[in-house]
Amino acid sequence: MEDFSDKVFYHLYPLGFCGAPERNDFACPAGGGLRSIAAHIPRLGALGVNALYIGPLFESASHGYDTVDYFHVDRRLGNNDDLAALVRAMHDAGILVILDAVFNHTGRDFFAFKDLREHRQNSRYAAWYAGLDFSRNNQHNDGFLYADWAGHSSLVKLNADCAEMREHLFAAVDAWIDLFDIDGLRLDAANVMSIDFLRELSRRGKAKRPGFYLLGETVAGDYRGLAHEGCLDSVTNYELYKALWSSFNDKNFFELQWALKRQFGPEGLYRDLALYNFADNHDVNRVASVLKKRAHLFPLYGALFCLPGAPSIYYGSEYGIKGEKERYSDRPLRPAWDEGWQRAEHADALFSALARFSALRRGHPALRRGLCRELFTGPEDAAFLREAEGEQIIVTLNAAESPGEVRIPQRALDAAGARARVWRDLLDAGCSARAGESGAGLTVRTPPCWLRVLLGEDA
């Protein structure tokens, strides 16, 4: 099975990226958006991307999470042949592909729900949906109530205990593997789905395609509840997401170190899980809008790429674009591709930095897997040790706008098992740090709003 600690994800929201119409008229000819994505493969290669998370892709009424047909690509993006060609192109470039799977709910235009609206309790699909109450009415005057997702009546919750409904969804997954040769799924709203359904999906997906990857969306709670043997392979790491930007904004690296210790330390809850780590995504404000100082993008992404798990870049954020939710819309987070992003001030510098971070990660197993041990923590600076396969690396972060000096006590180095006397910066070949004599510890000078990634050379 693939080790997803070795992956660098690129996250595409295709309806936004391709500039698709906001609403589906269910009559227009197939668009060409999916065909245009392959042209970006060289860019992804330059970033060091080797895994693509893309979706949602299947026929829906608006934003893609209100599915109408699980077996046909949304006509606003293209058709099934276009998706198959895109996955082939990604695979030829060494990039795995996982699709967004929306199995917790459907849209109101889904065939089974349309039949339910017409025939109510006499519908043969009544068992497909959860929370039906035919003694009451709803805001759409359907003549019954139903469960939905998070109070959104356009997203009608499926009944995961219905065998016929399950088979419909499993048949869709079989078709996606057969037709598109996908490598896995990102499961929308996984934290509110039936664990039995997820386990059956895992069993069937891996039986059909060994190593089939299942990533679950979960915002809070114990990740082990979903990510364990026989269920999901990984989940979205919202805890780390919050700790990253908050630590920079609040001058509080104690929050980040606490999260790292809790998740990836020697007694960490998730020390053997390759969690999906991100700085932003299609549901949260762009990290460039969240951070108080734009310069913090560089050490924040540097930290992201030096931690256990699989880092992800949300399209456009490699150029530092901004985006904030509106009261009733997420569309500002999901813009159409714009060539101008690449020409914006500091865009090239950030893209180049991400490419360097990705290359470092790819070349050093200690940055991809293994434990994370705290060495030093201050309000605006921090240091931690990564170790794997006989390699040790110390990472220092400096959020200040002036050069920082991290003084790591010898007792912290000893407690973490740091063995080297000389530590060479992999980002600056001319910089190194030497452990002091007679237990004086290690002093690391770090440039403003930057990081050091120090390889122990004489361990």
Mean per-residue pLDDT, 156-185:
98
Note the pLDDT tens digit of each residue in 137-154. 999 999 999 999 999 999
Cα four-point dihedral sign 155, 159, 162, 163: positive
Note the pLDDT tens digit of each residue in 209-230. 999 999 999 999 999 999 999 9
Helix (H, G, I), strand (E, B) or coil at 161: coil
Cβ(127)–Cβ(162) under 8 Å?
yes
3-state helix, strand, coil in the chain (%, to 5): 35, 20, 40
Q: Tokens 């170790």 identify what position?
A: 387
Mean per-residue pLDDT, 341-362:
97
Note the pLDDT tens digit of each residue in 66-124. 999 999 999 999 999 999 999 999 999 999 999 999 999 999 999 999 999 999 999 99
Distance, in Å, from the CA atom of 134 to the CA atom of 137, rounded to the nearest integer, reads: 7
Q: DSSP labels for 396-453? A: EEE-SSS-EEEEE-HHHHHHHT---SEEEESS-TT-EEEPPGGG--EEEEE-TTEEEE
How deeply is 174 buried, as exposed, middle or buried, from its count of CB atoms within 10 A (0-12, 13-18, 19+)?
middle
Name the percent of the chain lying above pLDDT 90. Answer: 97
Which domains does the chain carry?
4-107+145-366 (3.20.20.80), 369-456 (2.60.40.1180)
Residues 6+ apart with CB under 8 A from 139: 153
Residue 443 tokens, joined: 């002093």
Note the pLDDT tens digit of each residue in 390-404. 999 999 999 999 999
Q: Which of 435, 416, 417 is nearest to 375 (CA)?
A: 416
pLDDT at 196 over 70: yes
Mean per-residue pLDDT, 302-308:
98
Residue spans of alpha helices (H) in 193-264: 195-208, 238-249, 253-264
User: What is the pLDDT, as a whole number, of residue 440?
Assistant: 79
pLDDT tier, 207 (very low <50, low <70, confident <90, very high otherwise): very high
User: What is the pLDDT, as a whole number, of residue 438?
Assistant: 60
Residues 6+ apart with CB under 8 A from 407: 376, 441, 442, 443
Name the percent of the chain lying above pLDDT 70. Answer: 99
User: What is the pLDDT, as a whole number, of residue 437?
Assistant: 67
Beta-bridge partner residues of 453: 395
Note the pLDDT tens digit of each residue in 9-39. 999 999 999 999 999 999 999 999 999 999 9
User: What is the pLDDT, as a whole number, of residue 260?
Assistant: 98
Q: Which of 67, 223, 221, 218 is nearest to 155 (CA)?
A: 67
**How wide is the angle at C-alpha 39 spanned by C-alphas 13 and 74, nearest 5°?**
40
The helix-helix angle for 163-180 and 195-208 (nearest 10°) equals 30
User: What is the pLDDT, as a whole number, of residue 458?
Assistant: 73
Cβ(270)–Cβ(224) under 8 Å?
yes
Please report, as a single letter, which amino acid is at residue 255. E
Pairing assessment for the beta strands 276-278 and 51-54 based on DSSP bridges: unpaired
Mean pLDDT of all residues belonging to the chain = 97
User: What is the pLDDT, as a whole number, of residue 160?
Assistant: 96
Note the pLDDT tens digit of each residue in 433-445. 998 766 779 999 9
pLDDT at 1 over 70: no
Mean per-residue pLDDT, 44-53:
98
Distance between first and last Cα of the chain: 31
Mean per-residue pLDDT, 269-289:
97
